[in-house]
């Protein structure tokens, strides 16, 4: 009897210990458009670390390939009353980031006790713009994927391959869009690629770009100063044609960051900044 009681207590103790040790590595399934740099950046590590963990001798990867993510990612054993949202609150990460870290879970709304869930690391604080706000309201957008640099080919004169200069955040039409930081509107109106778009100069060398909008907030015009968190427009799917063209793609906000202290302006990947702003907004 004593032995049975001891066994029961041991099992109960193991069940209550729901966070696995840090030695356990998470897995990630490569998606179309992924690069090692994108995957490493989103998991707070270097390309070299990711290659070493997976025994890779080149940066070539393919969709469907499974990679292990070392160190920073923790694992959690789902408890009977858990949901993915409750787990995200428990560990202080966004639901979006939690879902991204668990591609092996086909339906995030259907999890069960005993399932292993990867807990993503807290995003790295960027060296600049760390006090920005996420441009869309919490729980009003879908997955963020780092599609910066992906191939695009639409042009008014027929397909011409070019590089995607921002990150797309999927959301329903008319979802509010907020200014990430204080700034001045320097471009406003129609662009055949970006549709109804807005460019806000945030400092002497940087501008934030919001595109494919369904419309603008009242009072938005070129030269107007906007404040961090101010409503500036609404998500849409305008662009890829003459004024008024819409419906050529899924509704989303295209968000870009441009360095304006050179000619022509050059882009940087906004994904690490978006992850940080998303984390701060939780």
For 19, which DSSP code? B
CATH number for 42 = 3.10.350.10
Question: Over pLDDT 90: what percentage of the chain?
Answer: 56
Asked whether residue 124 is assigned to any structural domain, the reply reads no
Both 152 and 230 in a single domain?
yes
Residue 208 · residue 200 · CB < 8 Å: yes
Q: What is the pLDDT of residue 202?
A: 97
Both 145 and 269 in a single domain?
yes
Tens-digit pLDDT profile for residues 172-205 = 999 999 999 999 999 999 999 999 999 999 999 9
Both 112 and 36 in a single domain?
yes
For residue 19, the cross-strand partners are 76
For residues 228 and 210, give the distance between their C-alpha atoms in angstroms, rounded to a whole number: 14
Q: What is the pLDDT of residue 25?
A: 58
Which token pair is 193?
Answer: 């690629």
Both 258 and 174 in a single domain?
yes
Window from 165-174, 223-232, 273-282 with minimum mean pLDDT: 273-282
Whole-structure pTM value? 0.74
Tens-digit pLDDT profile for residues 218-263 = 999 999 999 999 999 999 999 999 999 999 999 999 999 999 999 9
Quote the number of domains for the chain.
Answer: 2
| Mean pLDDT, rounded, of the chain | 86
Domain residues for the domain of 90 are 18-119
Q: What is the pLDDT of residue 18?
A: 54
Asked whether residue 63 is assigned to any structural domain, the reply reads yes
For residues 175 and 183, give the distance between their C-alpha atoms in angstroms, rounded to a whole number: 21
CA dihedral 282, 47, 180, 246 (to 10 degrees): -100
Residue 66: CA count within 13 A, CB half-sphere: 6
**Confidence tier at 74 by pLDDT (50, 70, 90):** confident
């Amino acid at each position: 009897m004593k032995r049975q009681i001891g066994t029961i207590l041991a099992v109960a103790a193991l069940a209550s210990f729901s966070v696995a040790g840090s030695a356990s590595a998470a897995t990630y399934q490569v998606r179309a458009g992924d690069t090692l740099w994108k995957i490493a950046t989103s998991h707070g590590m270097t390309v070299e670390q990711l290659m070493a963990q997976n025994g890779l001798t080149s940066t070539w990867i393919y969709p469907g390939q499974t990679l292990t993510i070392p160190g920073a990612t923790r694992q959690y054993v789902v408890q009977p009353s858990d949901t993915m949202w409750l787990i995200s609150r428990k560990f202080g990460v966004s639901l979006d980031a939690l879902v991204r870290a668990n591609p092996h879970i086909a339906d995030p709304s259907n999890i069960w006790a005993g399932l292993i869930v990867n807990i993503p690391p807290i995003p790295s604080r960027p060296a600049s713009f760390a006090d920005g706000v996420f441009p869309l309201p919490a729980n009003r957008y879908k997955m963020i994927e780092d599609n910066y640099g992906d191939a695009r080919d639409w042009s008014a004169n027929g397909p011409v391959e070019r590089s995607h200069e921002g990150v797309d955040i999927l959301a329903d039409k008319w979802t509010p869009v907020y200014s990430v930081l204080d700034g001045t509107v320097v471009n406003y109106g129609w662009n055949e690629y970006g549709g109804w778009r807005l460019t806000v100069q945030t400092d002497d060398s940087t501008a934030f770009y919001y595109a494919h909008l369904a419309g603008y907030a009242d009072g938005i015009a070129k030269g107007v100063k906007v404040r961090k968190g101010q409503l500036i427009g609404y998500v849409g799917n305008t662009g890829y044609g003459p004024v008024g063209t819409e419906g050529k793609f899924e509704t989303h906000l295209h968000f870009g960051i441009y360095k304006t202290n050179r000619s022509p302006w050059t882009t940087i990947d906004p994904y690490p900044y978006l992850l940080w702003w998303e984390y701060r907004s939780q």
